[in-house]
Each structure stands twice: as structure tokens, then as C-alpha cells.
Amino acid sequence: MEMNAIVAGVGMTPFGKHLERGLKSIGAEAVTAALADAGIEGADLDAAYVGNAAAGLVTGQESIRGQVILRSVGLGKLPVVNVENACASASTALHQASAMVSAGLYDCVLALGVEKLYHEDKKKSFGAFSGAVDVEFLQAFMTAMQKSAQAGGAKSASEGAGEKRSMFMDIYAAVARAHMDMYGTTVEQFAAVSAKNSRHGHLNPRAQFREELTVSEVLAAPMIAEPLTRPMCSPIGDGAAAVVLVSEDRARDLGISKPVRIRSSVLHSGWDHGMDEEDAAGLCVREAYEEAGVGPADLSVVECHDATAPAEVLAYESLGLCSKGEGGKLVEAGDTSLGGRIPVNTSGGLLRKGHPVGATGIAQIVELTEQLQGRSGDRQVEGANVGLAHNGGGTIGTDVAAMCVTILTS
């Protein structure tokens, strides 16, 4: 459906390692900030959609995660919908909140994404990702990944998946090797994504990593799963991000004179299709552009799901920023850097801002909203008026399990 929800306020915690804080503390910080930014009280909310992916495994909190978090800041009574959709949990919560406002069922809705991934037991943290595939086929899936790595001479990728790192790093590594074989993409081009995002993250006070890296430093870092070195892989993290969405009538009541609007929000899951046929990301992108009435050339700024550096390169191609196989050249030319033709991941992306999976999708919306409102400080994209968020999660068959693409305009 065509969306027409207005962003009244945003809030976000710094992303990072917060072992001493719980879900309630982290979530409350983002909610309080978003309400203050919108200039409203909690009592003004009609409903809340709360995205979280892994609390059940990492903290033991199941079933009523949103209610527990919101009650800690005095928000009871209102309808709370808990949303779990892998790394797309927060964007799915936003999608649902936007739909309800656009349909006229609610006038003022909170969308929150929150996650705690750090745990003293690292296996518990990384094990949270292993449930984002079809677990009945997990062992066969892991064996196939190991055989693929061994056949390609990828020693690091042949062992340790799911225990020393998220198994998704191995999935992305396999995709990267295939892209290199098919299109001639180089490891230096993948490293250029990490270097670019480190420059952007250096300018973001809420980013998990603030250190700037060169391409050489990225390549010299420890190998995780060939060809991915550590800075080419997003870290686990803790954090939360929140958005208050309102109807046009409520926006007028609040005196919002230059609204940031959700123009489209498209959600699909993967399916069985041919390797050369349109996938979930392609379908979401195509429908989002059609609903918003814009195309790739209209975009001012993009936040994409760079769970790894190669994932950002593939996103360029899915979004139509360049032709198939040309993503490596696009980043190498500086087109996706601040000051370039189409800046991507001005926040630092998942690679540097961090990736508390249940919060990531709304963190993208926070960054884009602030860009469209001209309040991004040193990383501001001049004249930004159209932003796109691309957020996916999980794997089903050979496709992403959940993909959401959202377009905002000012």
C-alpha cells in the first residue's frame, strides 16, 4: 500500500558494548529521546510496535519484550505488538506502524527497535544468528558452506562458523567469492567500502567504531572468512532506535511545517526462484520506487544493509545505483562517499555504526530523517530530500528471509 506517515520524532542510543545495561535501560533511552524530539508525552501514543530478534536467546526475555521495555518508562495500557523478523525486525516494526497510520487506524504510533547481543558467553551471542535459517536444514547448510570454502581454498571460512563468528559472515564470504569470480570485483574494492564507512563513522558520535581506516589497514586486519577481514564484517552490538510516526492531522496539531514523510515501505520474504530471476531485494526495490514515484537518480542518501562490505556492493546493484557487476567500481570511484554522487551509509553503516540486529532498521530511519532535516552535522549531505533504507535479515533457501525497503522524502 502507498504510505503517508510523517516522522514526528526520532531517538537513538550510541551503539556498542553495554554489558552493564539491560534491554529496558537501552530501550528506554531511545524511546525517551524520540518522544522528546516529537514534543509529545507517552500518553499521546495510540500504539507501539517493538522490533527485537534475539532477546529470548541472549537475555531469556521472551513473549512480552515490548511490554516489559515500555512499562519501564511508564508506557502501559496502549496496544503493543512485538515484531521478530531477524535483522529486519525493526524495519518490519516500522513497516507495520507506517501502515496503520497511513490507513487511518492510528494517529500517533511508536516504532522501536532494540537489541542486546553482547554476552559473557560469546557462543550465546553468535548462536543467536544460527536460528535465522531453516534449522531443520542447518547441519546440511553448514556442511555445504564448509565444502564451498574448502573447494575455493578458503581456509579460515572452513571452520569456526557459528562459534567464533556469526555464520552469516560465511554466507556473505561465499557470495563475495562468487561476485569476484563472475565480475572481476577485487578485494581492494570490498576494502574500499570498509574504509569509506570508517570515514563516515568517524563523524558519527553514536557509532560503535570511530577510528578511520585506510584500504591497506582493512586488508592487513585479521582474516575472518576469505575474503573478509575483520573490518569487512559488521560487529555484534547493543543499542536501540525509535521513531514516532503521526498522521497528517496530528502533524498539523504538532506544528510540523516541514515534514519528513514515509513515502513507501515494502516488505517481502524470499522464495524459490532461478539464480537469474528477480529476488526479494529486487522486488522490494522495484515496488518501493513505484509506490514513492521516484527512481535511483532521485536519491540523495542511502542507508543500506552492509552486514559485510560485499553486501554493500551488492546493494548498489539491487538499488539500481549502478549496473550488475559494477558495484566495486562505484565505491572505488568515490561515488558513494560523502561529497560523492550518491552517499551511502553516512552513519558509518552496520560496519562502523554497529549492528544490534533488532535495532538496525530503525537506526537507518533515524539517520535518514536527520539527513533530510539538515541536522547531521559534519556528515550532512547538502540538499538531501530523498532517502532510502535497505534492511534485510535471515536466509531462506538461496534468498534473504526478510527484506524491507523504505523511502522517505522531505
Question: How many Å apart are CA 195 and CA 106, to the nearest integer?
Answer: 43
Identify the DSSP state of 377: G
Q: Alpha-carbon distance 244 to 137, whole Å?
A: 39
Q: Cis ω on the peptide bond leading into residue 227 (within 30° of 0)?
A: yes
The one catalytic residue among 87, 108, 233, 322: 87
Side chain identity at 357, as an amino acid letter? V
Pick the catalytic residue from 95, 200, 268, 355. 355
For residue 175, count CB atoms less than 10 angstroms from its CB and return exposed for 0-12, middle for 13-18, buried for 19 or more.
Answer: middle
Place of cell 546493484: 317
Q: Is 233 a catalytic residue?
A: no
Cα four-point dihedral sign 395, 397, 402, 403: positive
Compute φ and ψ for 243, nearest 5 degrees. Answer: -135, 140
How many Cα atoms occupy the beta-carbon half-sphere of 149 within 13 Å? Answer: 25
State the DSSP string of 16-72: B--TT--HHHHHHHHHHHHHHHHT--GGG-SEEEEE-SSHHHHT---S-HHHHHHHT
Compute the distance between CA of residue 344 and CA of residue 270 in angstroms, rounded to an integer.
Answer: 24
> Taking the CA of residue 320 as centre, how many other CA atoms within 13 Å lie in the half-sphere pointing to its CB?
15
Chain Cα centroid distance, residue 322:
21
Indicate the DSSP class of residue 361: H
Q: Where are the alpha helices (DSSP H) in 215-308?
A: 215-220, 248-254, 280-292
> CA-to-CA distance for 276 and 328, rounded, in angstroms?
20
DSSP letters for 106-175: -SEEEEEEEEE---SSHHHHHHHHHTTS-GGGHHHHHHHHHHHHHHTT-SGGGS-BTTTB-HHHHHHHHH
Give catalytic status of residue 304 as yes or no.
no
Q: Is residue 280 within 8 Å of residue 314, measured between CB atoms?
A: no
User: Which of 197, 216, 192, 224 minimizes the C-alpha distance to 208?
Assistant: 197
Active-site residues, by number, are: 87, 355
